[in-house]
Amino acid sequence: MKNLNAHIKSIFYLLIVLVTVSCDNLDDFTKFDITYDESVTIPATVPIDIPFTISTPEIETNSESTFSINDTSEDLIEDITLSEFRLTLTSPSDEDFSFLETIEIYIAADGLEDTKLAWNTTPIENGTHVMYLETSDEDLKNYIFQDSFYLKIETGIDEVLTEDYDIDIKTVFAVDAKILGI
């Protein structure tokens, strides 16, 4: 009888381990990314050493269809955080980001307060054409649940811009949904 109890305990512990590992693996299936691409132009007439703000056009979230494609829905989303914010200077092709003195990015949407999303705190080296900004760990699901949002770019420059600077923006939001709705 003791031997039987020992086997039952062993099987019970094995089942607990398998369920725990399976839940962790299932959790990975409920995570996915949403990527948005946008462009912005910094005009040549921007004053030096005076902070200014540029806003992107509204960015449609298409969140309902994105959630549906990933077999989830808004009510099952636990959190959405920004995992990547990348700037790429596309023109002028012979220039770089060294003209930037400061940069902070805010996310904005109707009815919601602006939230600081990304920023740079390190000096920008000459020759930098692609910048990865530091990102907030704020839960941003309320912005992604909206029909659209836009980005406010607060920046200061430390040199005269003789032509427009075109910048591509890539944002990657990490979505974490509940496992099987629980």
Domain-located, residue 68 = yes
Domain-located, residue 83 = yes
- What's the pTM? 0.81
DSSP 29-97: HTEEEEEEEEEEEE-TTPPTTS-EEEEPPPEE--HHHHHHHTT--GGGEEEEEEEEEEEEEEESTT--G
Domain-located, residue 61 = yes
pLDDT at 182: 47
Domain-located, residue 113 = yes
Residue 44, classified by CB atoms within 10 Å of its CB into exposed (0-12), middle (13-18) or buried (19+), is: exposed
What's the domain range around 117? 32-181
Domain-located, residue 86 = yes
The CATH number given to whatever domain includes residue 56 is: 2.60.120
pLDDT at 47: 75
Which residue numbers in the chain have pLDDT < 50?
Answer: 17-18, 21-25, 181-182
Q: How far is CA 107 from CA 10, 16, 18, 103, in A?
A: 52, 43, 41, 14
Domain-located, residue 174 = yes
Domain-located, residue 17 = no
pLDDT at 91: 96
Q: What is the pLDDT of residues 148-160, one digit of tens each?
A: 999 999 998 888 8
Domain-located, residue 138 = yes
pLDDT at 178: 86
pLDDT at 58: 94
Question: How many domains in the chain?
Answer: 1
